[in-house]
Amino acid sequence: MDLALNCYACGSDGQLADGTRCACGEPYWLETDARGFEWPDTAERSLWRYRDLLPPVDPERLAAVAGGTPLVRASRLDDDVGARVHVKYEGANPTGTFKDRGSAVGVAVAEASGASAVGTVSHGNMARSMAAHAASAGLDCVVLVPADIPAERLGLIARFDPTILRVEGGYDRLYGASLRVGREHGVRFVNSDTPLRVAGQQTTGLEILEAFAPDGPDAIVVPVSSGGHASGLWKAVRELESAGHLADPPALYFVQAAACAPIAEAWAREANAVAPVEAGETVAYSIANTDPPSGNRVLAAASDTGGAVLAVDDDAILAARRTLAERTGLFVESACATALAGARDLAAAGAFVPEDDVVLVATGTGFTERDVDPVGPAPRTVHVDALDGALESVLS
Ligand SMILES: *Cc1c(COP(=O)(O)O)cnc(C)c1O
Ligand SMILES: [Zn+2]
């Protein structure tokens, strides 16, 4: 199956078979004509609800069920953000993150094209997602991970029995190297911002926009690393707006962890190109990309929509992670908590008014994380016969 691609930066056209980047150096995305599109009048809940805007495949098994995640009205966060807060809970996807949307489209297209193997470069969520989707379709899956990956994260990937290679000598070089060797060996790599992944991940945006149609929400705040998800959100906004389906498009705000924030640093310098940074340690390890392949596209998305790119430190991330649990009941990964931490900073800078609808994208579940130490003093111990008195004292 060949699919038409397009470059957001210079407008050049390409084909999926030719590779994933334009001659100008920027990443391609799938070209979609949304002019004839209408919000679907069907009961379909998965991302295939938007099949008119996706590659023409008819997925089965796991690839059929990603997407359709809850959009929760989180009124107990309104005071923090100074607006009406909603949380898009991507933890409800089959393997617990929005990566399933991109994996679903990548695996479904590979399967429909008669490929026997798919692959990805990841140290966590994307690897788990690709391995699971490939397993369900009976495709081989090659996962390239950094050699120093923590054992517990390796275990979460290994459950789905992919071929795992621990690679030394520069994890940052793997993105390009994998696409090259994949083409030679018939492995369809669906990396962080490749066109099929972005096509699938644009459906997070489509679901949010449909919930607020015909206007958008006022702002969407989302964690960013490679820029693949951000690109998908922008693609959804741009295409629907230019096709006349979105009267009032949202501002897109992207949040990074301060210890590894190449896109936010470029934004602060008012540059239109991202420069790689040295890796720093952060609790938000899922968003610690030192050389984001779609970084420039994220800068364009922020400026085109009247948004921004910002960075938040680990203390703010951990505080936001706790607030999300205590005031929304959602158990999110540290990386996702950057969205609330960033929204707090935006609110302090006067970005929102109380009538604004602000959507925080909680990109993944926290049940995959190990650092869930109890907060505060240990719960007290009581004898079963003393329960009556104990409850009376805590409730009074
Ligand atoms: C991958 C990931 C991100 C970042 O998405 P990009 O498309 O790489 O920018 C954010 N949060 C979680 C939980 C992720 O797994
Ligand atoms: Zn180009």
pLDDT, tens digit (0-9, with 9 covering 90-100), for 328-383? 999 999 999 999 999 999 999 999 999 999 999 999 999 998 776 666 778 889 99
Residue 149 pLDDT: 92
Please identify which residue in the block is written with the tokens 């066109």.
195
pTM above 0.85, yes or no: yes
**H or E, element range at 255:** strand 251-257
Supply the DSSP symbol for 393: H
Rounded to the nearest whole angstrom, what is the distance from the C-alpha of residue 2 to the centroid of ligand 1? Answer: 27
Enter the DSSP assignment of 170: -
- Among all bound ligands, the one having the nearest atom to the CA of 231 is 1
Ligand 1, residue 193: give the atom nearest the CA. 7
Cis upstream peptide for 214 (omega within 30°): yes
Average pLDDT for residues 96-116, to the nearest whole number?
Answer: 97
pLDDT of residue 172 exceeding 90, the answer is: no
Residues 371 and 344: their CA atoms lie apart, in Å, by 23
What residues have their beta carbon closer than 5 A to ion ligand 2?
A: 7, 9-10, 12, 22, 24, 26
Write down the residue that tokens 């056209």 correspond to. 13
Alpha helices, DSSP H only, in 70-194?
78-81, 99-112, 125-137, 151-158, 174-185
> Domain map of the chain by residue range?
65-96+196-362
Atom of ligand 1 nearest to the CA of 294: 9
Nearest by Cα to 26 from 4, 53, 8: 8
Residue percentage of the chain with pLDDT more than 90? 91
Residues framing ligand 1 (Cβ under 6 A): 97, 99, 125-126, 192, 223-230, 286-287, 333, 335-336, 363-364
For residue range 282-327, what is the model confidence (pLDDT) as tens digits?
A: 999 999 999 999 999 999 999 999 999 999 999 999 999 999 999 9
Per-residue confidence (pLDDT) for residue 65, from 0 to 100: 97
**pLDDT computed for residue 374 by the predictor:** 60
> According to the model, what pLDDT value does residue 372 have?
62
Confidence at 171, pLDDT banded by 50, 70, 90:
confident
**Residue range 111-126: average pLDDT?**
96
pLDDT tens track for 54-103: 999 999 999 999 999 999 999 999 999 999 999 999 999 999 999 999 99
The residue ranking higher by pLDDT, 227 or 17, is: 227
The whole-chain average pLDDT of the chain stands at 95
Length of the chain equals: 396
| pLDDT, position 55 | 97
Q: Is the pLDDT of residue 19 over 90?
A: no
Answer whether 334's CB lies under 8 Å from 321's CB.
yes
CATH number of 65-96+196-362: 3.40.50.1100
Q: What's residue 373's pLDDT?
A: 61
- List the structure tokens of 72: 């929760």
Instruction: Average the pLDDT over 193-201 and give the result.
Output: 98
Rounded Cα distance between 171 and 289, Å, is: 10
Of the pLDDT bands very low, low, confident and very high (cuts 50, 70, 90), residue 3 is very high
User: For residue 2, what pLDDT is reported?
Assistant: 86
164 forms beta bridges with: 143
- The pLDDT assigned to 17 comes to 85
Mean pLDDT on 11-15: 96
The ligand placed nearest to the CA atom of residue 120 is 1
